[in-house]
Amino acid sequence: MLLQVIVSGIATGCIYSLMALGLTLIYKSTEHVNFAQGDMSMISGFLAFTFFQFLRLPFIPSLFLALLFSIGLGLLMERLLVRPAITAPHFNIFIITLGASIVMQSFAGLVWSYDQFPFPTLFPAKNIILGGVRLNTNALGIICTTGLLMLALFLFFKYTRIGTAMRAVSQSQNAALLMGINVKRSFALTWAISGFISGIAALLIAPVIFLSTRMGLVVIDGFAAAILGGWGSIPGAVLGGIALGVLENVAPYYFPSQIRNIIPFAVLVGVLVIKPTGIIGEERRRRV
Amino acid sequence: MDLFARRGSVLLIGAGILFFLSPLILNRYTIFILNLFAIYALVSIGLNLVMGYTGQISAGHAGFLAIGAYFTAIVGTKMGWIPPVAVLLAAGLFTGIIGFLLGIPILRLKGFYIAMATLAFGVVVSEIVLQWSSLTHGDDGFRVPRAILWGFVFDSDKKLFYLVQPITLGMTLMARNIVRTRVGRAFLAIRQSEIASQTMGIHLAKYKTSAFAVSAFFAGVAGGLFAYVITYISPDSFSLGVSIDFIAMIVIGGMGSILGSIIGAVILTGLQQLLSGLPEVQLLIFGVLLILFMIFMPRGISGMISDWWGAGERRPWRK
């Protein structure tokens, strides 16, 4: 029974990992914090919903179309909101993405209303019994999809030319510029990838928690996950997400069930008070 | 120059007298709005002290407002004989202590981490209010008892005007004095560079925690006044969205400016009341304003005003 809860916790955790990963990628390349990551997800979910529900497109192509749009949304954010203020302090970009988050939420509320909509799942709903543990196929599907995406990202950053260039930019923008890397394009690409991840997250999470304008709040779990793992570290984001998901699913077993609502916040406060660098983050010292 | 200054202060006092006589001719709703303006101006001045002056983002000020409001409501119910001014002062001090305690762990954090920690604080406060229903009535909300001062009952917006406005005026002057003294200059120095201000002998821990404490004090008093004016409070009144509205107020009004805090509070509260039937449109406008101001006018309306009057040079941290 506990094992089953842990597996579904890992599945929830995968979604948090995806959120945390999107945040971390952007942070690593430009040190910007994107508060609108969850709302980008929400918009992608609603777009997919519109394609197959109102425009009557077939289900799978609508999802792909929505993913394309989510990439576009990432690029749009970078071009319209971040680049005009690229020289401003990071504080300003944080406030700008906060504004973007409000705009996306109210926009979605105006277009699609504040109701909740059921979202069909990608995976057949069946239970598999594996070694005496009853496993939900949806949870397994989420875990596998996330795993594949992470693997693809790892290969991309490790072995492709563009991926290597992007890693170079995240280490030092000036040095990368001197090596002839197009830094601006690299920033745009980071946002595009981040948008794509938010789109995938939307398709995985919407069947579980229903599609609604409040879906964007998952970004807070993403922050909690990234900080728990170690802010700015990609393995940390993945690990933190899974740890948070498991914690959230296991805690109601031992404590009153309302505790579930405040776990991400308790984790945020707890980690920041006890060890702000998280599980595997390292302390950064800045030169004056 | 002297003459102008004198004429300016005469004008100001005249405007003040007119303002305090205005409830005699204004209707109930307008007075209610003026009270709301004052309450949000207080929160926004407090937030500006910690965010605009000291440079620590707080995304949890609705939590402080909630603590002040519930403190006032609970004390008002259990000990109704205490005069409202004393209750408000106690609410402010209690919230201030909480702000101070929150400031201690935050000392170790920087920039965006502070935003996340305060955001979590705000949400945890509203969750505690929701769950601790034996004290706060949880989701049902709390009907706040009327403020009674020596038998005089503040039972109309007009009467409350004379409770809310003098307190706001007094605290605005207090904030103005704080930012003009060495404390305020220390805040500004911390905002510019923590390391540089430390080398100049500014006690970082002391000033950062006191910035949080003072800011929470303002929000706590505002919360108490909010409880008296709204008369019914529930956890919904203090959600994350409210904290973000406060950030929008000081960004639009102008960070690091008392006047800006008031302007921002008036503009956003006004918009909120104008568009109260269309909450989506109102939020959309808030978001767009937040983005546009941050990209094109990061110093807000008060920054624009001071450039226009050529008083910009006097700003110690002008870039």
| Minimum distance, in Å, between the CA of residue A257 and any CA atom of chain B | 12
Instruction: Give the DSSP letter of residue A257.
Output: T
Query: For residues A141 and A121, what is the distance between their CA atoms, to the nearest angstrom?
Result: 10
Residue B249 CB neighbour total at 10 angstroms: 28
Judge whether B113 lies within some domain: yes
Helix (H, G, I), strand (E, B) or coil at A52: helix
Q: Do B291 and A100 touch (CB under 8 A)?
A: yes
Per-residue pLDDT of chain B (319 residues), as tens digits, is: 455 566 677 777 877 777 777 777 778 888 888 888 999 999 999 999 988 888 888 888 999 999 999 999 888 888 877 788 888 899 999 999 999 988 888 877 777 788 888 888 888 888 888 888 777 787 777 877 777 777 677 777 777 888 888 888 889 888 888 888 888 888 888 888 888 888 888 888 888 889 999 999 999 999 999 998 888 888 888 888 889 889 999 999 988 888 889 999 999 999 888 888 887 888 889 899 999 998 888 888 888 888 777 654 555 554 4
pTM over 0.90: no
Taking 50 as the pLDDT cut, the residues of chain A under it are: none
Residue boundaries of the structural domains of chain A: 2-274
**Dihedral over Cα of B228, B233, B238, B242: its sign:** negative
ipTM of the complex: 0.84
Query: What is the chain A residue with the closest CA to B111?
Result: A91
Largest CA distance in chain B: 61
Judge whether B258 lies within some domain: no
Q: Looking at beta carbons, which residues of chain A come within 8 Å of B290?
A: 95-96, 98-99, 102
- Any B CB within 8 A of A103 CB: yes
What's residue B319's pLDDT? Answer: 42
CA-nearest of B51, B29, B10 to B216 is B51
| Minimum distance, in Å, between the CA of residue A148 and any CA atom of chain B | 30
What's residue A195's pLDDT? Answer: 93
What's residue B44's pLDDT? Answer: 94
Instruction: Number of A to B CB contacts under 8 A, please give it.
Output: 109
Judge whether B207 lies within some domain: yes
Instruction: Name the residue among A84, A220, A231 with its Cβ closest to that of B295.
Output: A84
Domain count, chain B: 1
- Any B CB within 8 A of A102 CB: yes
Contact B286, B243 (CB under 8 A): no
Residue length, chain B? 319
Question: Which residues pair with residue A128 across a beta bridge?
Answer: A135
Q: Kindly list the residues of chain B whose beta carbon comes within 8 Å of any beta carbon in chain A.
A: 55, 57, 105, 108-109, 111-113, 115-117, 119-121, 123-124, 127, 131, 195-196, 244, 247-248, 251, 280-284, 286-291, 294-295, 298
Q: What is the 3-class SS of A153-179, one letter each residue?
A: HHHHHHHCHHHHHHHHHHHCHHHHHHC
Question: Which residues pair with residue B207 across a beta bridge?
Answer: none
**Domain A2-274 carries which CATH code?**
1.10.3470
Query: For residues B299 and B319, what is the distance between their CA atoms, to the nearest angstrom?
Result: 10
Helix (H, G, I), strand (E, B) or coil at B149: strand
Phi, psi torsion values for B299, nearest 5 degrees: -95, 5
What's residue B80's pLDDT? Answer: 73
Q: Give the position of tokens 């209303």.
A: A113
Give the DSSP H/E element, type plus range, for residue A178.
helix A173-178
Helices and strands in chain B: count of H runs, count of E runs:
14, 4
Q: Do B117 and A269 touch (CB under 8 A)?
A: yes
Residue of A76, A269, A286, A288 to mutate when probing chain B, most B C-beta within 10 A = A269
Q: Do A110 and B284 touch (CB under 8 A)?
A: yes
Q: Looking at beta carbons, which residues of chain B come within 8 Å of A98?
A: 244, 247, 290
Give the DSSP H/E element, type plus range, for residue B233.
strand B232-233
Residue length, chain A? 288
Question: What residues make up the domain containing B40?
Answer: 27-239
What's residue A169's pLDDT? Answer: 84
| Minimum distance, in Å, between the CA of residue A187 and any CA atom of chain B | 18
